Each structure stands twice: as C-alpha cells, then as structure tokens.
Amino acid sequence: MVYMKFIKNRVAIAILYSIPAIITTISPIAYAQTDVIEVSSQNDFERALALATLTNNIKIRLANDFTLLPKVDQNRQEIPWKIGNVTIDRANHILTVRGSPLDITGDTVIRNTKLSFLPSQGLTLDLNAANQQEITQYIFVNGNRLELDNVDTQMGTDANKLSRPNIVMGSGTGATKDAGKAELVLKNTIVKNILAGNLNSSSKQSNTKITLDSHSEVLQGVYFGLDSPNNVT
C-alpha cells in the first residue's frame, strides 16, 4: 500500500492566489423570432395588423374563411385596407375583401390563400366590362415588396376569368408613402394587369422589379403608367 503525503508549499500557494481571475462574458446571439398569430375574424385580423406596425416578423395564419367589410372614412367613402410587414398564410382558406382595395404599407407575403374581392356600392365594378360581369379591384404596392405565392385571385362567383385584381406598383389616389423599391413576385398566381407606375397623375421615380414564375400569368399586360398606350412584353 502506498501512502501519499501532501505538504503545503507557501510559495506555490502565494503564486496561485496572485494569478488574476479571467472572466469571459459570452453575449447571447439574438435570433429574429416570428410571431405566429391565428385569426378567424375581422377583429382578429385588425389586431394582428396593428401588431405588425410594431415589428417586422408577424405571420398571420388564417384559421377559417372570413370576410373583411369595407373600410370607410368620416365621409363614409371606402378607403383601402392597409397591410404591411406580414406574411399571410394558410391552406387555401378564403380571405374575402368586400369593396376596399389593399394598400401595401410594408413588405408583405400572401401564400396558399384564396384572395377574393367583392364589389361594394358599385365602386369596384369595371364599367367597361359590365356586360361581361367582370369585376376588378386594386392592390397598391406603394414601392414595397409584395409576394403572391399560390394565391387564387378569382373574384366573385359568376365573374369571368378577367375578374382578377390589378397590381399597381406605385401608389393610388391617396397619399400613402412610396417606399421606393417596388418589387412584385408572382408564384402560381394570376392577376389582370400590372401598372409599373402610379395610378394617380404623379410619375414614379424609383425602379420597379417584377418576377413571375412559369405558373403565373398577367391576363392583359404590364404597363409603364397611365399615359403608356402599350403594354410591356
């Protein structure tokens, strides 16, 4: 049997205690967290949109089909629904927008959803195609980025194939600020027209980027602006 004897060495102990302690602080890595909000009514949807104005990582998940009633101002005139900084997603539920156009106020993705527009007060019926029961409506991108991914845009139950929304890359007749980047991505989605400029009389000064996959379609054409007599091919 071997016995070991430990002897205190005052010199060694003095050296040990004279070494300063090194404390390393590791900063936590911050990851962007996406808040998923499940909505089943207009009230839920409005609350989610309000939260999206405070953060850029909101995903709105549709729990069922529901309708957004027209937005009106103090004069009872219909005004756009403002949507921005969100991803709207759910397996083919129907989001019906009655009367009001959509005003994109921040980068937005809509996917795996049926986006249906219904006319209200006769404001969204295209008078040039009234005999064909053609319904039209507008989505104003306002210089932001909009991605429509596998979005069914057919409007109305008795409307014809041309009853699809028009995409305006700039602004509408209102005063919504143009973010200046204007990008549209279409994946497996059909729209009626794309206007690269503004719907109002002012000219759009920033660039516009439009990307379509092989399963997407623009039924009538892509136009530079209201004063452009020809579409872009």
Q: What does the pLDDT look like over 25-44, one tens digit per residue? A: 433 434 346 689 999 999 99
25 in any annotated domain: no
Helix, strand, or coil (residue 90): strand
Mean pLDDT of 150-162: 76
More confident residue, 107 or 24: 107
* Other Cβ atoms closer than 10 A to 209: 12
Residue 78 has pLDDT above 50, yes or no: yes
The count of structural domains within the chain is 1
19 in any annotated domain: no
Residue 45's φ and ψ, nearest 5 degrees, are -65, -45
Q: Percent of the chain, pLDDT > 70?
A: 67
- Indicate the residue type of 137: Q
Is 53:80 a contact under the CB 8 Å cutoff?
Answer: no
Q: Which pLDDT score is estimated for 18?
A: 46
More confident residue, 119 or 83: 83
**Structure tokens of 121?**
């007060």
More confident residue, 50 or 73: 50
60 in any annotated domain: yes
The percent of the chain in helix, strand and coil, each rounded to the nearest 5, is: 10, 40, 50
Q: Which pLDDT score is estimated for 159?
A: 59
**Structure tokens of 126?**
């295209």
169 in any annotated domain: yes
Helix, strand, or coil (residue 181): coil
63 in any annotated domain: yes
Mean pLDDT of 202-209: 76
Q: Which pLDDT score is estimated for 166?
A: 92
CA–CA separation, 89 and 59 (whole Å)? 7
The residue among 76, 68, 74 whose CA lies nearest residue 99 is 68
Residue 150 has pLDDT above 60, yes or no: yes
State the Rg of the chain over Cα: 28
232 in any annotated domain: no
* Other Cβ atoms closer than 10 A to 114: 17
CA–CA separation, 96 and 70 (whole Å)? 11
129 in any annotated domain: no
3 in any annotated domain: no
Q: Which pLDDT score is estimated for 42?
A: 95
Is 189:216 a contact under the CB 8 Å cutoff?
Answer: yes
| Range(s) of the domain holding residue 83 | 35-67+75-124+135-224
